[in-house]
Structure 1
Amino acid sequence: MDIDWAALGEVFGISLVATVGLVGVFTLGILGSSSPAGGGGATTLARTGAYACFALCAAAVAFGIYLIAA
């Protein structure tokens, strides 16, 4: 059995970057949907950005499921 270490390292690196990026986008969504420190609720722009972040995360998960199923 021969292991292609370069391919394994490439998969690891891409997986790491994708995971950190997706967690970062989800965190931005949580921050955008939460109320600011002064209270009063999130602004419309922040809430719209949060929904966009959550939609991007859902699209990434759906794409991952598609890749696994295909």
Structure 2
Amino acid sequence: MHIKWTALAQTAGISFGVTVAVVAVFALGILALSRREAALGAREGGRASGGAQPVLLAGAYACFAVCAAAVLYGLVLIAAP
């Protein structure tokens, strides 16, 4: 039995990189949602409000869609014959 160490290292490196990227994108989505909530709270509190709420919500949805696509792609790779 011969182990291809370079292939193993490449697989581990790519897996780590994709994991970090998906977690970072998910965190950006959570950050966008929390900033939207803070902006809505400031608007209700009487402070000046920016028009960024729809942009933040769209950005959060986009981040979550990217995460869902990465998960679905992984499941397709696992289930592929």
Shared fold per TM-score greater than 0.5: yes
**In 2, Cα distance between equivalents of 1:37 and 1:4:** 53
Measured against aligned partners, the alpha-carbon deviations of 1:2-48 in whole angstroms (never above 9, x if no partner) come to 11000000001100100000000000000011123893477110111
Are 1:48 and 2:58 an aligned pair? yes
Structure 2 partner of 1:3: 3
Identity of aligned residues (%): 54
> What TM-score do you get using the length of structure 2 for normalisation?
0.78
Question: Cα RMSD between the aligned structures?
Answer: 1.9
Amino acid at match of 1:45: V
Larger Rg: 2
Which gives a bigger RCO, structure 1 or 2 (Cα 8 Å, sep 6+)? 2
Matching residue's letter, 1:36:
A
Q: Of 38, 46, 62, which aligns to 1:36?
A: 38
Aligned length: 70
Q: Structure 1 unaligned runs (5+)?
A: none
Q: Which has the higher helix share?
A: 2
| Distance in 2 of aligned mates of 1:52 and 1:29 | 8
Cα distance in 1 between the residues matched to 2:65 and 2:40: 27
